[in-house]
């Protein structure tokens, strides 16, 4: 909103280190990240503190998983020269901002986040009636706001967390965006645009605040965008004054919804560790072959001579991801006429998955053999991230007039 089109968008996203990644992650999330790293300024982090909110009783596995996850990312094509890759807990400012945001966040907001109750239901064997778990979405808000992210690529299940992030940012800006003398400073900033523009700005502001005219706000924003000579601070002041909010210290991020992965699990349901239907990125070629060979098929094809219907078969969904038109036609005809057997039909899928995994596994093996390098990448990423995070904390503490801390 307050960004000009030429501004390189900042992207922030994280993943909890809960074990080896699988093809569902690869097709759903990682390929998307790899693409974005070339177009945007990207911060990708391993959310180890978030893992602790649910696995606090068994934290010993987390450290191993952090590095394994980083290796999977790097193997899948995340390039530390393009994206900043790090571990959440290496940037303590996430926790510091979380603490400050906790002061202004009404309990009801957190209790109402749907994942709070859902996850407690789903993970019944764990006691999730903890302070940390309730704060899960707020820690995520801090993860995002500490980098002033424009966009957060997430799956549909995370949209509520982005929504609360926006609410918390709005509340923060409302409470602390009114620096001493905010109105006067905004009026002075308006004058800096010159008489004519200042008048237009004041008219639009009045139209918006008195009549709620959405046209006026759109035009007002456009006017501010077009004023090249305004400083960033003045522009934000004027934007806040226009909207009646205050200066924007923490910009509201947008969710960039990740398209649901077309990649199904081996049983045709969503690929997920809890369904035990995954192909991991480290799956050996032999295991890929074995798992696909034993995949269920259309249950009507009891005998080789029974015709089948690809629409009723999870193997067909794999063909949809991996096969070209000729192969797909071969499947359609061969299945319906019982011209091909299921093992035969699975062969091209096995080959395609193996071919996709081979270069990933090659790179993973190189990083496995040089874990020092992985740690170095994470250390450097954290250093870069900390610089940005520290600058945000200065803005935050100035806005809160917590200046004895600076
Ligand atoms: N909660 C996210 C998930 O379970 C992981 C996450 C933590 C995250 N912090 C984040 C995602 C910040 C995006 C931005 O998938
Ligand atoms: Fe499924 Fe292929 Fe067998 Fe048809 S031939 S049931 S699409 S595996």
Between CA 71 and CA 74, with CA 73 as vertex, the angle to 5 degrees is 65
Q: Counting atoms of ligand 1 from 1, which one is nearest the CA of 16?
A: 5
149-186 in b/e form (b: 16+ CB < 10 A) is bbbbbbeeebebbbebbbebbbbbbeebbbbeeeeebb
For residue 3, being part of any structural domain is answered with no
Residue 304 lies in a domain: yes
Alpha helices by DSSP H, listed for 5-82, are: 23-25, 31-39, 48-55, 60-76
Q: Decide if 46 contacts 17 (C-beta within 8 A).
A: yes
Shared domain for 126 and 238, answered yes or no, is no
Question: Which ligand 2 atom sits closest to the C-alpha of 316?
Answer: 7
Q: Are 235 and 224 in contact (CB under 8 A)?
A: yes
310 alpha carbon – ligand 2 mean position (Å): 6
Which range of residues forms the domain containing residue 109?
10-177+252-261+370-399
Residues 226 and 257 in one domain: no
Give the number of C-alpha atoms closer than 13 A to the C-alpha of residue 325, restricted to the C-beta side: 0
Residue 296 to residue 225: CA distance in whole angstroms: 57
Q: Which of 50, 43, 54 is nearest to 8 (CA)?
A: 43
Q: What is the CA radius of gyration of the chain?
A: 26
| Opening angle at CA 132, ends 381 and 155, nearest 5 | 60
Token readout for 6 is 């030429």
Q: 384 with 358, same domain?
A: no
Token pair listed for 61: 């596995």
Residues 106 and 138 grouped into a single domain: yes
Tell how far the Cα of 364 is from the centroid of ligand 1, in angstroms. Answer: 23
What is the length of the chain? 406
Do 49 and 145 share a domain, yes or no? yes
The pLDDT assigned to 41 comes to: 98
CA of 345 to the centre of ligand 2 (A): 6
Q: Considering every ligand atom, which ligand is closest to the CA of 297? A: 2
From 11, 12, 15, the mutation candidate for ligand 1 (largest count of ligand atoms within 8 A of CB) is: 15
Give residue 404's pLDDT: 84
Long-range pairs, 124-133, Cβ under 8 A, ≥24: 126/54, 126/57, 128/53, 128/54, 130/53, 130/56, 132/52, 132/53, 132/56, 133/53, 133/54
84 shares a domain with 227: no
User: Do 321 and 230 sit in the same domain of this protein?
Assistant: no
Residue 384 counted as domain residue = yes
Q: Is 319 in the pocket of ligand 1 (CB under 6 A)?
A: no
Is residue 276 in some structural domain? no
Ligand 2 pocket, 316 CB below 6 A?
Answer: yes
- Would the CB of 143 count as within 6 Å of ligand 1? yes
CA geometry: angle at 83 spanning 81 and 86, to 5°? Answer: 105
Supply the angle between the helices 136-145 and 93-104 in degrees, to the nearest 10.
120
In a domain, 272, yes or no: no
Measured distance CA(166)–CA(6) in Å, rounded? 23
Residue whose pair of structure tokens reads 């011209």 in the numeric block = 339
CATH of the domain at 294: 1.10.240.10
How far is 137 from 295, CA to CA, in rounded Å? 37
Give helix 195-211 / helix 214-226 axis angle, nearest 10°. 150
Give me ligand 1 centre to Cα 390, in Å: 21
Residues 45 and 166 grouped into a single domain:
yes
Q: Is 151 in the pocket of ligand 1 (CB under 6 A)?
A: no
Structural domain count, the chain: 3
Q: Would you say the CB of residue 48 lies under 6 angstroms from ligand 1?
A: no
Query: Whose CA is closest to 109, among 133, 72, 137?
Result: 137
Question: What order do you get walking across the sheet with 83-87 strand by strand?
Answer: 83-87, 41-46, 10-15, 151-154, 254-257
Compute the distance from residue 141 Cα to the ligand 1 centre, in Å: 9
- Can you tell me the distance from the alpha carbon of 294 to that of 315, in angstroms, rounded to the nearest whole number? 11
pTM: 0.88
* CATH assignment at residue 81: 3.40.50.620
Q: Which segments of 20-156 are extended strands (E)?
A: 41-46, 83-87, 151-154
Q: How far apart are CA 220 and CA 238, in angstroms?
A: 9
CA distance 167 to 105: 9
The reply to whether 96 falls in a domain is yes
My answer on whether 25 and 169 are in the same domain is yes
Ligand 2 proximity of 315 Cβ (cutoff 6 Å) = yes
335 close to ligand 1 (CB < 6 Angstrom): no
Ligand 1 nearest-atom number relative to CA 161:
1
pLDDT value at position 388? 98
Find where tokens 């390189």 sit: 8
Task: Determine, yes or no, domain membership for 270.
Answer: no
Residue 4 covered by a domain: no
Question: Looking at the structure, do residues 388 and 328 belong to the same domain, yes or no?
Answer: no
Q: In order along the chain (406 residues), what is the average pLDDT of each group of 10 residues?
A: 61 94 94 96 98 92 93 98 98 98 97 91 90 97 98 93 97 88 91 95 93 91 92 89 87 90 90 93 98 97 95 96 97 97 98 98 97 97 98 95 81
Q: Is 12 in the pocket of ligand 1 (CB under 6 A)?
A: yes
User: Residue whose CA is closest, atom 4 of ligand 2?
Assistant: 335
156 shares a domain with 211: no
Are residues 14 and 46 located together in one domain of the fold?
A: yes
């Amino acid at each position: 909103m307050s960004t000009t089109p030429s501004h390189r968008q900042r992207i922030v996203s994280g993943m909890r280190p809960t074990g080896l990644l699988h093809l569902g992650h690869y097709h759903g999330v990682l390929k998307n990240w790899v693409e974005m790293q070339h177009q945007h300024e990207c911060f990708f982090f391993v959310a180890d503190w978030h893992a602790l909110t649910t696995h606090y009783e068994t934290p010993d596995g987390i450290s191993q998983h952090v590095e394994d996850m980083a290796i999977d990312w790097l193997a899948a094509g995340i390039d530390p020269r393009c994206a900043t890759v790090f571990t959440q807990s290496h940037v303590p400012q996430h926790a510091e901002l979380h603490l400050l945001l906790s002061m202004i966040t009404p309990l009801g907001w957190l209790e109402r986040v749907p994942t709070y109750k859902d996850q407690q239901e789903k993970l019944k064997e764990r006691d999730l009636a903890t302070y940390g778990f309730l704060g899960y979405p707020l820690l995520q808000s801090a993860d995002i706001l500490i980098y002033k992210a424009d966009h957060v690529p997430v799956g549909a299940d995370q949209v509520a967390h982005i929504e609360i992030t926006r609410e918390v940012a709005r509340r923060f800006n409302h409470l602390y965006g009114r620096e001493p003398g905010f109105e006067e400073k905004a009026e002075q900033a308006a004058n800096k645009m010159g008489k004519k523009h200042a008048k237009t700005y004041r008219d639009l502001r009045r139209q918006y605040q008195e009549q709620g005219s959405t046209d006026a706000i759109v035009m007002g924003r456009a006017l501010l965008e077009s004023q090249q000579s305004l400083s960033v601070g003045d522009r934000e002041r004027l934007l806040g004054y226009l909207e009646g909010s205050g200066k924007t210290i923490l910009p509201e991020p947008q969710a960039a919804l990740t398209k649901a992965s077309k990649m199904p699990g081996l049983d045709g349901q969503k690929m997920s560790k809890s369904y035990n239907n995954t192909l991991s990125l480290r799956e050996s070629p032999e295991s890929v072959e074995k798992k696909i060979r034993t995949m269920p098929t259309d249950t009507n094809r009891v005998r080789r001579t029974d015709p089948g219907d690809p629409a009723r078969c999870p193997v067909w969904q794999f063909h949809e991801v991996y096969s070209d038109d000729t192969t797909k036609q071969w499947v359609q005809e061969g299945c319906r006429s019982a011209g091909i057997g299921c093992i035969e039909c699975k062969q091209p899928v096995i080959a395609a998955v193996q071919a996709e995994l081979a270069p990933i596994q090659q790179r993973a093996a190189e990083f496995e053999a040089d874990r020092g390098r992985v740690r170095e990448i994470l250390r450097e990423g954290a250093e870069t991230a900390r610089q940005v995070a520290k600058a945000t904390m200065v803005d935050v503490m100035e806005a809160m007039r917590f200046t004895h801390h600076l």
